[in-house]
Every structure is written in structure tokens, then in C-alpha cells.
Amino acid sequence: MAKDPRKAAEKLLRKAEKAARKARKAADRAETAAAAPAAAPAAAKAGPLVSPLAPAEFPELPAIAGVEFAAGAAGIKYKDRTDVMLVRLAPGTAIAGAFTRSSTRAACVLDCQDKLAGNPGSDQGAAIVVNSGNANAFTGAAGQRSVDAVTGAVARALGVPARRVFSSSTGVIGEPLPHERITAILDDLAGGLDEGGIASAARAIMTTDTFPKGAGAEIAAEGGSIRIAGIAKGSGMIAPDMATMLVYIFTDAKIEPKLLQRILSAQMDETFNAITVDSDTSTSDALIVAATGQAQAAPITDLRSKTARAFTQALAGVMRDLAQQVVRDGEGATKFVEVQVTGAASAADAHKVAMAIANSPLVKTAIAGEDANWGRVVMAVGKSGAQADRDRLSIRFGDMVLAENGWRAPGYDEAAASAYMKREHLVIGVDLGLGRGARTVWTCDLTHRYIDINADYRS
């Protein structure tokens, strides 16, 4: 029997990816490039396997008055890799945040939540410090000691109150954070702060990400413009509450902390709580929005005003863009998938169905194999726990109706459905025919590359 050429090609691809991964690990473990001259060329030749769904380049983001960035290498997990981001925020900056609801959340998350409790305003400056390579999660009392050491050192280096220093950590869970490596480079970072350093900052917070993520917007407002610029990291352990990632968004809008928090919280369900890569919720999710108040535009004081509505829409757009970039960088992803659920008995039911489809390993592996197996979508609807009626259900891929009224659609075309599955951007539509509840979520396929990345993440 002749071999399946696609399976043979996939086997060769897995071998190539495995060889590339070994080469990168060899380079990471080398003491120096001089000590291991053979490993570095191998890693350079193999190069990082950038997601095929990645944007062509990091976007040109608007500079935000009152925000400065620096990035450096502390050697937290890997030598000679940029792994710390420092941000200085001007006096009077309003801060809002959203965080993971994991019951095993990291010390830095608990610390940020405590500092933001009550949304206190301040005329003093503020700062954000982030490290990759170590999550400082499940590290007991030592975790808070590390947070205190890092935030205290940042406060001294920048002359800001320690309660206005917000920290995040991402990487391996359960290992003590070598915080002294971070504090050792803070003076250098403080000396290198630059308004235009946001792209370097985005790279510093990456872990298994294959590309840095950024998004921005600018709106016309009364008295002048308002700018927004945001960065994010995230690739695996991505699920709602609030997906598994770190996100930092900066704006020069004049707005009080409580109003900023209201706007941020209202946008979460349609952005960062509407994505999933693998259904796993992180210990370390954090989203911080900082508004420096240095725009020439009039202050936002009424959420019903034209400026407030435009700002809200622009912020939501930046959040949605970053959230979708996280999915596009899902570990091993080759397909970006939009799941649209309509006709549910309630919005909650629509969410249940959308997430059941988006998280189903059977649905996601069928997508990876470009198999138009819509029966797996039927399965996911049935297991979701939402109200459903087989005879009212309809399913479509893109514009093609595949099933309706409890049966395969009369015009179903297997060849056309299979051809559609070869696209990079897919839309799976489900209408339950029961009500007006609707929800759209975004996910990706599940490939062998996901296993390759996660089988030896710690080692």
C-alpha cells in the first residue's frame, strides 16, 4: 500500500521540529557562546519556530506621554536572554487591573490586587516590573518576600512609593524566584528608561511566545487626541478567568481610577475572557491599564459622553487585538478559529457552548488535520451543559450550512467543506434556535507541536 504523503510530510516535520528544539536547548544551556561554539550556529540555523499566524512585524505604536520603558537580561532562567521589563509612570497616573481568579494565584498577583483595592488615586509616580522565566507561584512565604524585595528595590531606584510598584512574574511554577538577579540590574534599567522602548519591553516578557505582541489606537477628543498602546505575552495555559497571559496597556487619557476600572472590567468578557488555547487557567494572569493623564484632551468624567464612548471603543479594540494575537501564538497553532454561537436560551448558555467547542480536543485536532468533522461540533454542543434541542440546531463552517433541523443539510458538500478547512482563519457557526443569547470566542487548533513544547517545559 502506498504511503500517505501528508502523513509522511507530517512525520518529517515533527523530526525537524524536534531537532530544532534540541539545538535551541543546547544553546540555552551553554555557559557562553565561546564555551560552546558548535551549539550557537546550530541554534541560529534552526531559529525560533515563529507561529505561521504571526503578524508580519511588531506594530508602530504611539508614544504615550508619561511612560518610559527599559528591558534587560537578569539570567533568571536562561543566560543572555532579555527577561526583565521596567516601566516608569508619571506622577498622577491612574491604575486599573484585572487578574486571574485561580485559587493558586501567584504572590505578585495577590500583591497587585491588594495594592489596587479601593482604587486609590495618587499624585506620586508609579512603576511596573515584570520578569519572565519564573512565575514565583506556589512558592510559599518566600514568594511574597521576593515580591517585596523587587518592588522595594524598584521604589528606591525610581523614587516612587512601594505601594505604587506593581510586579508580575511568568514562567515555571514552584521554583523560588532568584529576585537578587532582578534587583542587581535595576540601576542599569533605571538609567536606560526610554519613551520609545515599548517593543523591547514586549520581547522581555515572552516565555514560549514566538513573537512579541502589541496594539495601539488614537482617537480625536475634545481639546486634543488620546493615545493608547498595549503589549501582551501569552501562548499556552490560555483559558478564561482571564486567560493566561500578562497584558500592559498605557494611555495618556485623563481619567479617575474608578472610572478606568469600570471601563476595563466591562470589556473583559468580550476580549480576554473570550479566548482559549488549551482550557488551562494560569496562576499568574495580570492585566494592568495605566492612564497618565498627560493628553491635551479634556478629562473623561462621564461614561456617557462622546469622548468616553470613543475611548471605551478604542480600548476594547486594543484589548481584542492583543487577545487575538495571543490565540494566533497559541503553542503549536496553525489555524485561527472563530466560534460564533447564536440562538441560545441565554448569554450564559451561549458562552458554555462556545467554550465547549473551542476547548474540545477532538474538535481542535480535527481542525489541525483539516478534517471537516462537524459531528464533533454536535458532540461539543451536547456536552456543554447548555439547553439545546437537536431538531433546532444548525451548524456552519464559514458560509456553508452543514447541518440543520437535526440532520445533515440537504445541500451538504463534503468536498467543499474539506477545502474550507485548509484555510488559516476558520469560522465555526452554531445556532441553537432557542433564544437571543450569543457569544463569539477565539481559539486555535491542537497540533503535535503543542506536545513538543509542553512535554519538557520545566526541564
Of the residues 93, 208, 210, 244, which is catalytic?
Answer: 244
User: Contact 161/122 with Cβ under 8 angstroms?
Assistant: yes
Residue 82 annotated to the active site: no
User: Contact 169/131 with Cβ under 8 angstroms?
Assistant: yes
Report helix, strand and coil shares of the chain as percent, to nearest 5.
35, 25, 40
User: Contact 121/94 with Cβ under 8 angstroms?
Assistant: yes
Please tell me whether 207 is known to bind a ligand: yes
What does 314-326 look like in DSSP terms, one character per residue?
Answer: HHHHHHHHHHHHH
CA angle at 294 for the pair 311 and 232, rounded to the nearest 5°: 60
Please tell me whether 131 is known to bind a ligand: no
Please tell me whether 270 is known to bind a ligand: no
Residue 85 grid coordinates: 521589563
Q: Name the nearest CA neighbour of 241 among 103, 346, 138.
A: 103
Please tell me whether 359 is known to bind a ligand: no
Please tell me whether 244 is known to bind a ligand: yes
CA distance 86 to 71: 6
CA distance 155 to 135: 21
Query: What is the total residue count of the chain?
Result: 459
Binding site membership: which residues?
207, 233, 244, 331, 454, 459
**Catalytic residue positions?**
244
Binding site membership for substrate: which residues?
207, 233, 244, 331, 454, 459
